[in-house]
Every structure is written in C-alpha cells, then in structure tokens.
Amino acid sequence: MRNHPSLFFLCLLVAPSVFCQSPYQLDWKKEATLTTLGLGTLAGAFLISNGVEPLSLEAIAAADRRDVNSFDRGATGNSSGQAHKASNYFLYGSQFLPLVFLADHRSKKELGQIAVMAFETSAITSGLTMLTKNLVLRSRPYVYNEDVPLSDKTSINARYSFFSGHVALVAGTSFLTARIYADFHPESKWRPAVWGLAATLPAVTAYLRVKGGKHFPTDVAAGYAVGALTGYFIPRLHKSNKWKEKGLSFYGGPNSALVRWQF
C-alpha cells in the first residue's frame, strides 16, 4: 500500500494498546515446575545437612594453606569483619531491587508477575547454592588462617565455602531486575547503565566476601555465574510471544506503508 495516511494514523492509535502490554506471560505448569525446582533443592539440601559434621580439631590443625591452589591461596590470609558486614548490606539491600518497578508506569501494573519471577529466582538460586554447599563441603578460607578464633572454624558454616550464596543471590536479583527493565523499556537509553549496575553489585559483593575471608575467588566466581544465569533466564522463560504472532504490525518507509493484522 502506498501513500495511505489514514492507515498510518490508525497504526499510531492502535499500536500503543498492542505494544504496551506486559512482555511476560505466566503459566501454572511452568510456575509449578520452577517453584518445585527451587523448593525441592532447598529441601534436599536440608536433608543432607542433617548428616554434616563440623570439622574435627585434627582436621583444623592439619589445614595447610599450601594445599590450596595458587589462584585461591591469597584468600586464606583475609579476615576483615568490616568487609563481611558490608557484604551483608549488599545481600539484604539487593533483595528489594524489584520494588523499583512500583515507580514505573509500565511495570507497576504487572507487579504480580514480577513478584512471581523474583520468588522463583530467589528460590532456585538459594536451592542450588545450599545443595552444592552440602555436597561439596569445602572449607572456608578462614579455616587456614591462624588469626581466626577456633570457635569459627568448628562451626558447620566453616564447611560451606563453595559456592558463595551472597554473590549468587545479589547477582540473581540484579540480573533479574535488569532483564525486566530491558524488556519493559527496549528503547531506553538507560539500558547500558542498568546492565552495568547489575554487573557491578555482585562483583563488589564478591570482592567483599573474599576480603572478609569467607570465600575463595573460585567460590564467588561460581556464585556470580549461577545467580546471573538464573536471574537472566527466568524472565526469558516467561517471555510472551503473542504480540509477535498476533495483533497489528506496521512497516513503513518514505513512500510506502504496510499494515498487517494477524488473528
């Protein structure tokens, strides 16, 4: 079709009602599967944890930092309490990130969908983290540090180094938030900044966890990967294709225009 301004204005009137819809679609079977995955891994981790024993005094005395690989060895000398506290602030604060969508006119009406995806991300990330910790039972860096009190080394928590739950949860929520923002605002000039912030928050948390002597670099790297992948792909799994397959499509050029409606 060529030179039909009426069709052009029709497109302008109808297109907002088409493309301002939520980019996501919930499905009870999908939600049940993802929720079961998260809660199931958490339950499995809890059952396994009942059989985990603290490190014995003999094992602690035999801990030699020279046995740690060269990439991770430097963390055995860290024990900053301030860094540990700061990492907790990043963990707790990051969990409120999805609330920013309350201030957005495009997404606040879909807060229910966002809440479901945030819950699934947190549950799956936590489940994978705790299950892995209880299966691997890697001693934390401070076990090798002579300056750390024995009471810390004899706690069950001293065996849960791999991988970092702090970093995984911060990365999961950060990447979830960035992915949702990008899907609701595909044209926004702020997208690079949002993704940059999403990548930075777990990176800073990772540094603080290593600085605090709670994790090795490989622990935080693995936690970053698990959290980021979970936070990124949960929204992708919910992405709706109905507006790509149905509705009004407009293609225009200087001298022509095409309007297509698919039912």
Q: What are the residue ranges spanned by the domains of the chain? A: 1-21+240-263, 24-48+71-238
pLDDT of res. 242: 58
Mean of the pLDDT values across residues 131-145? 98
Nearest to 215, CA basis, from 125, 154, 144, 124: 144
pLDDT, one tens digit per residue, over 197-241 is: 999 999 999 999 999 999 999 999 999 999 999 999 999 999 987
**Alpha-carbon dihedral of residues 107, 113, 25, 119, nearest 10 degrees?**
130
pLDDT of res. 108: 84
pLDDT of res. 247: 41
pLDDT exceeds 50 at position 128:
yes
CA distance 29 to 125: 20
pLDDT, one tens digit per residue, over 48-61 is: 999 999 999 999 99
Angle at 101 between CA 99 and CA 106, to 5 degrees: 160
Tell me if residue 124 falls in helix, strand or coil. Answer: helix
Terminal-residue alpha carbon distance, the chain: 20
* Half-sphere CA count of 100, side-chain side, radius 13 A: 14
